[in-house]
């Protein structure tokens, strides 16, 4: 069923410097009561969809993603669910349009987002899972990281066999850059998540527990987040096959067309001269490290270089005639300035 597939995907993934020059996500950039997000799911992503290496000023071309089905994620207060007596009034719930009998519960404050459990029905019987685990700490910046580990013991076969399950959760904001989706573009941070489940088996011999077997199950996924106030959710994710290192599930939310996205950006205007031009443009840079990107009017990246403080001269003689958009970003991905120029 579609709702089971989408609920498992969302559950798994919620479980892609100087302060003024980096993308920073705070409390206001994350889910809150009243939010509604339409997610598009691609059950078998194109092989050209790859997370690529970590680092600054990356470009991810996810225009190959397709929509197998969609689901609307609604964020509601706990008392609006079928499980209000099982969770705190301070929690919030994520419901899916594909099923009103399944809810995921979270706790959000000004410095973290945590999962606290889930509720659903099986054959008319209510099932409650309680699990408190930190998903993200914020403010969230490039190179931030976090880790947690949980252990659970089970005794089997009349106290003769014990299973110790250790689950390790890690994430790192390992990259920032441009995420290109089928409908447009986002400027984003990428969060790499690793989950490692280790199952250790013990036998009780000679009055002590002795390990006789151990299995390790690693998994990796990537999330892309943006400081666009309309997003409030990861804008894309990939779940990776650890054997082939290829994605086997993906999701994304619609993006604005490139030119419309640029118009919404509130940043300083950078003087580009001469404008119009035939061969060169000049810009004056104020930061010690500046990522200078030039795009066509449709969002195609045609130039990307790192420049230092001062006057910079860029050769545009080989560009086709037309209008171009220049964007300067700081060392953590924040847009410092933008401008348009015409190439004759």
CATH code: domain of residue 265: 2.60.40.3080
Residues 87 and 258: their CA atoms lie apart, in Å, by: 42
Q: Are residues 316 and 188 in the same domain?
A: no
Q: Are residues 270 and 237 in the same domain?
A: no
Domain coverage including residue 279? 260-343
Report the Cα–Cα distance between both ends of the chain, in Å, rounded: 55
Specify the pTM.
0.86
Q: Are residues 227 and 302 in the same domain?
A: no
Q: Are residues 22 and 56 in the same domain?
A: yes
Q: Are residues 86 and 46 in the same domain?
A: yes
Q: Are residues 192 and 68 in the same domain?
A: yes
Question: For 200, left (φ over 0), alpha (ψ -120 to 50), or beta?
Answer: beta
**CATH at 79:** 2.40.360
Domain boundary residue among 256, 271, 305?
256
Q: With beta carbons less than 8 A apart as the criterion, state whether 319 and 280 touch.
A: no
Q: Are residues 41 and 54 in the same domain?
A: yes
Q: With beta carbons less than 8 A apart as the criterion, state whether 134 and 123 touch.
A: no
pLDDT tens for the chain, 344 residues long, are 444 444 444 444 443 333 335 789 998 888 889 999 999 999 999 988 999 999 999 999 999 999 999 999 999 999 999 999 999 888 899 998 887 789 999 998 889 999 999 999 998 899 999 989 999 999 999 999 999 999 999 998 777 899 999 999 999 999 999 999 988 899 999 999 999 999 999 999 888 999 999 999 999 999 999 988 888 889 999 999 988 989 999 999 988 788 888 887 777 788 999 999 999 999 998 888 899 999 998 889 999 999 988 889 999 999 999 999 999 998 888 888 999 999 99
Q: Are residues 235 and 280 in the same domain?
A: no
CA nearest neighbour of 95 among 41, 40, 35: 35
Q: With beta carbons less than 8 A apart as the criterion, state whether 219 and 237 touch.
A: no
Backbone Cα Rg of the chain: 24
Write the DSSP string, 201-251: EEEEETTEEEEEEEEEEEEEEEEEEE--TTT-S-SEEEEEETTTTEEEEEE
CA 144 to centroid of chain Cα atoms: 13
Domain boundary residue among 256, 273, 290?
256
Q: Are residues 107 and 220 in the same domain?
A: yes
Q: Are residues 242 and 293 in the same domain?
A: no
Work out how many domains the chain is built from and give that number. 2
Domain boundary residue among 256, 278, 310?
256
Residues 65 and 49: their CA atoms lie apart, in Å, by: 8
Q: Are residues 155 and 185 in the same domain?
A: yes
């Amino acid at each position: 069923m579609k709702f089971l597939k989408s609920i498992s995907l969302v559950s798994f993934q919620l479980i892609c410097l100087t302060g003024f020059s980096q993308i920073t996500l705070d409390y206001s950039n994350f889910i809150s009561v009243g939010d509604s997000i339409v997610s598009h799911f691609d059950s078998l992503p194109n092989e050209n969809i790859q997370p690529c290496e970590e680092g600054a000023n990356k470009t991810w071309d996810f225009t190959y993603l397709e929509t197998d089905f969609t689901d609307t994620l609604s964020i509601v207060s706990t008392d609006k669910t079928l499980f209000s007596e099982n969770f705190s009034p301070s929690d919030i719930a994520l419901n899916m349009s594909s099923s009103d009998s399944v809810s995921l519960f979270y706790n959000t404050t000004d410095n973290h987002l945590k999962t606290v459990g889930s509720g659903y029905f099986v054959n008319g019987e209510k099932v409650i899972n309680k699990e408190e685990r930190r998903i993200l700490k914020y403010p969230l910046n490039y190179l931030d990281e976090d880790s947690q580990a949980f252990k659970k013991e089970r005794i089997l076969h009349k106290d003769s066999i014990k299973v110790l399950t250790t689950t390790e959760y890690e994430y790192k904001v390992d990259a920032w850059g441009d995420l290109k989706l089928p409908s447009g573009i986002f400027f984003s941070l990428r969060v790499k998540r690793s989950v490692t489940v280790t199952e250790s088996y013990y036998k009780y011999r000679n009055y002590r527990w002795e390990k006789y077997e151990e299995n390790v199950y690693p998994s990796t996924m990537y999330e892309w987040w943006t400081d666009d106030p309309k997003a409030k959710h990861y804008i894309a994710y990939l779940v990776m096959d650890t054997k082939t290192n290829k994605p086997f599930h993906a999701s994304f939310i619609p993006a604005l067309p490139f030119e419309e996205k640029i118009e919404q950006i509130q940043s300083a205007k950078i003087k580009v001269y001469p404008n119009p031009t035939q061969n060169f443009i000049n810009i004056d840079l104020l930061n010690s490290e500046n990522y200078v990107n030039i795009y066509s009017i449709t969002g195609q990246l045609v130039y990307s270089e790192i420049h230092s403080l001062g006057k910079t001269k860029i050769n545009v003689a080989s560009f086709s005639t037309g209008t171009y958009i220049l964007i300067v970003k700081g060392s953590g991905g924040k847009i410092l300035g933008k401008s348009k120029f015409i190439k004759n």
